[in-house]
Chain A
Amino acid sequence: MKEQVKKTGFMKKRRQDLLFYIAFMAFPVIQFIVFYVVKNFNSFVLAFQGYDAFQGYYFNGLENFKKVFYDIAHEYYFKTGIRNSLIHYGIGLVIGLPLGLTFSYYIYKKFLMSEIFKVILFLPSVVSIVVMQIIWANVMDGMIPEIYFAKTGNTMLGLMANSKTRFLYLELFNIWVSFGGSMLYYVGAMARIPDSLIEAAELDGASLWEEFFQVVIPLTWSTVKTLLVVGIAGIFTADLNLYLFYGTGAETDAYIVGYNLLRLTVTSKLDGYPYISAFGMILTAVTMILTFAMRFVLEKYTWEDVEF
């Protein structure tokens, strides 16, 4: 009897647990199904369709893929987009990453004015990107030309308007606004390093450089590695914030793959969606290969993850 009561109580508790679990998980699961599974399935189907105003969608085989491959090989703005996407990733790797790590280390070590730096560097990450864009555009294309005009009496093109300087200042803007986000990860990873390890390094007479390169970097490498892999996944989706600055009308020399995809989606009608879907699928396939390759290289040729 006692056993049965115990069993019934257990079942009831299991039911309650299940109910709680369902209540908690239902919303994210439904959201995942609708906005990821259904959406991507729809894109997959669309990629093999054509469109006619009087018939609607019809099966079109691999025509959209052929068109995308043709455009990649022949269209100037596609080639420029791929080149710029790789340059953008390279800049992030060569400038953004070392800068992020160095500043994070500075803050982690609580050097002079590190708290102020922390606020200054994190601020762009918490303020809306639109606000940041407005400030940047007004300084580069508003304030600077006006100061120049006041000083010289001549007009000048803004730094974001001039095609010779535009890419540089777009990159600077992107480093500025994304700096805080990556620093958050790095500082977090550095904070996890046991104090005893740092003290041991100091007792061994390690300089700050040695401490940084031989203790801190290897111990935070798993975080850096994750961000590098995630960065690869973003090569073809990053839009360099071109849409914020120029809407759908950025010049072809400034194109980047993610922006091209976004621009096509915004300006297309029903007839354009199949092509965009095929384009997206090709990008997904390429990104997948690159991501696995990057992971393989990082796992094989760099520091192993350290548990501490």
Chain B
Amino acid sequence: MRKQVYQKAGALLMVALLATASSCGALEEQGEQVNEQAAVLRVMNFDGGLGGEWLKDLEEKFEAAHANDTNWEKGKVGVDIVIDPLKFTGDSLGASIATHKDDVFFTEGNSYYNFVTSGWVKDITDVVTEVNGYDGKTIESKLDDEVRDFFKTNDNKYYALPFYSAYEGINYDIDLFDDMSFYFEGDTTKEGTPAKYVTEAGEKVYSFTDLSGTRSAGPNGKAGDYDDGLPATYEQFYAMCDNMKMQGVTPMLWNNHAFYMSYFMGSLQADYEGKDAMMANFTFGDAKNKTIEIVDGFNEDGTPNIVETTISNTNGYEVYSQAGRYYALDFVNTMIQEGYVSTKAFGSNENGIVAQTDFLNGKYSEKKETVAMLIEGTWWENEADAVFKTLEGTEGAKASRKNRRLGFMPFPKATEEKIGEPLTTMNINQTAIFVKSSISDERYQLAKEWIKFVLSDAGLNTFTKYTNTSMLYNYQIEDEIFNELSPYGKSVYEIKQNSIEVYPASKNELFLSNSGFFSMHTDAYWNSSYLVNGTMKMRNSPITPFREKEATPIEYFEGVRKYAEDNWERNFSKYFEK
């Protein structure tokens, strides 16, 4: 009797274990049918704002192109790419990568050299340097110099390649700008300058127009191109916000993720500093141009006093005194103090999706705020796809993603002297495509072929077609694809074509060995310490201190420098120049 009980219990346990095991398999089957007759390659795709439609399309094309291949795995005909959408990012991925079921990874937030040093990733040098059969070019030739230099290790090998490119910045509603005339009218007597007129009170104010009017030249100082009528300076930006407020429109919204604002302010800083000076934040003693401009106190009129200094690992904290940081802080402070930003932006419920929804929905409801601009990364439009679809259902075709005119605004310049300087954009994330080192030899060859296919011109165009953004490579968008892009996608492409990009990484040992600390994603980039009622406090973001008038931009800025300098030696002396 007891034996029977044990047998039944044992059988029950086995059934339970098998059910658990098979349910995992069943789930996978529900996601994507695995073709056991073909050579299988598993691909993890970061399941974030850019989604996976683009990869699905490439998967189908790749499988069709290699349907009759027999060379990838003995006894197998054709290939089967299995896409695994996961939110697995950062260095924590490395610890489990050896036993991870996926072979190839498209992800973000990883420290490339940590992966190389830890032996987690496979050498893909030939993929990068050999001519790609799919388009007759090498992948290496499509990389910017800085990006190439970063990914090529000191022994001239590549273990990963960059994935997508994304900027954080001001996204604006072109339809709203047009309908409510938020563009600066051009002064026809002085080319490129916004028109002003004198009110009865004797106040000089700007004149605004819609898209059909004569618009000012915008921040690049050239009339007749993509940025016409947009604010050229911070001062003009504030005037535009005043105009919006007067017409009952909330100028700005952002979400409650602190690191988004860190990215945004870092991007403003990059545009002020330009590429070389901005790169000093990541290259320190290995900077191409070691002379950088920093703020040495403030003049009586509140403007920063700029001096030059030579940057090294030893005095790397000097980058925290760059004027671009100050102007970025001042810009955000003005947005808050002048009430240009919706109070929703400070709420714990205003996450990324909610803020996107509020931005897109606002103008269709009288009960909601109409919002003109949203601080977000360029992936946001794709992320908000469901919101567009809902709006299309309720508001009609004009509200669809395809028809709604939205754009990415080139940054206004901090000062008038900067007008005409090229736009500098910041690739906010370190992204990567790599193959795990524990991959089998057979799959390794297939993985390399797959990467070549994805990074061919056609593959890159497919990415752009679906996501309305770009990969971090130089490639021409085909006319047919360009015409299919949403207005926002076209705008992002224009920005890419007209800007100088910064990639926030370098091979400097101080940077690489402390990459977590120097990432804009962490709060260390804007940490500041200053006195509040006699107590030295540390803040990790200026938003609340500005909102509560705890610190002025100058106090916060000086605190950023102080915090960096106070902690520099004890944390990084190992990397100081001898």
Interface residues on B, range: 35 or more
Partner of B343, one of A76, A155, A248, A268: A155
> What B residues does A67 contact at CB under 8 A?
570-571
User: Known contacts A53-B515, A246-B258, A270-B111: does B349 contact A75 (CB below 8 Å)?
Assistant: no
CA distance A248 to B521 in the complex (A): 9
A212 within 8 A of B: no
Contact A161 B10 (CB under 8 A): no
A249 within 8 A of B: yes
Within 8 A of A (CB), among B231-273: 256-259
CA distance A261 to B6 in the complex (A): 46
B260 CB, nearest partner CB in chain A, Å: 9
Interface residues of B (CB under 8 A from A): 2-3, 6, 9-10, 13, 90-91, 94, 111, 113-114, 117-118, 256-259, 343-344, 346-350, 509, 512-517, 519, 521-523, 529, 536-541, 544, 548, 570-571
B432 CB, nearest partner CB in chain A, Å: 13
Contact A19 B10 (CB under 8 A): yes
The 4 closest A-B pairs by CB, nearest first: A249-B258, A141-B347, A53-B512, A269-B516
A204 within 8 A of B: no
Contact B538 A76 (CB under 8 A): yes
User: Known contacts A24-B13, A52-B509, A53-B509: does B91 contact A269 (CB below 8 Å)?
Assistant: yes
> What B residues does A158 contact at CB under 8 A?
343, 346-349
Partner of B539, one of A137, A157, A252, A269: A252
CA distance A246 to B544 in the complex (A): 13
Partner of B348, one of A52, A75, A161, A253: A161
Within 8 A of B (CB), among A180-202: none
CA distance A19 to B344 in the complex (A): 61
CA distance A271 to B346 in the complex (A): 32
Contact B509 A251 (CB under 8 A): no
Contact B348 A160 (CB under 8 A): yes
Q: State how many residues of chain A have any CB contact under 8 Å with chain B.
A: 46
User: Known contacts A53-B114, A158-B349: does B517 contact A272 (CB below 8 Å)?
Assistant: yes
Partner of A53, one of B113, B517, B536: B113
A54 within 8 A of B: yes
CA distance A141 to B351 in the complex (A): 12
Partner of A267, one of B522, B539, B570, B571: B522
> What B residues does A134 contact at CB under 8 A?
349
Contact B118 A270 (CB under 8 A): yes
Contact A161 B346 (CB under 8 A): yes
23 contacts between A and B (CB under 8 A): A13-B3, A23-B13, A52-B513, A53-B111, A53-B512, A76-B538, A137-B348, A137-B349, A141-B346, A155-B343, A157-B347, A158-B349, A163-B548, A248-B523, A249-B256, A249-B258, A249-B540, A251-B539, A251-B540, A252-B537, A252-B539, A253-B537, A267-B516
Q: Which residue of B lies closest to A135 (CB)?
A: B349
A218 within 8 A of B: no
Within 8 A of B (CB), among A133-162: 134, 137-138, 140-142, 145, 155-158, 160-161
CA distance A19 to B544 in the complex (A): 62
Partner of A141, one of B6, B348, B515, B536: B348
B142 CB, nearest partner CB in chain A, Å: 26
User: Known contacts A53-B114, A56-B118: does B348 contact A248 (CB below 8 Å)?
Assistant: no
> What B residues does A161 contact at CB under 8 A?
343, 346-348
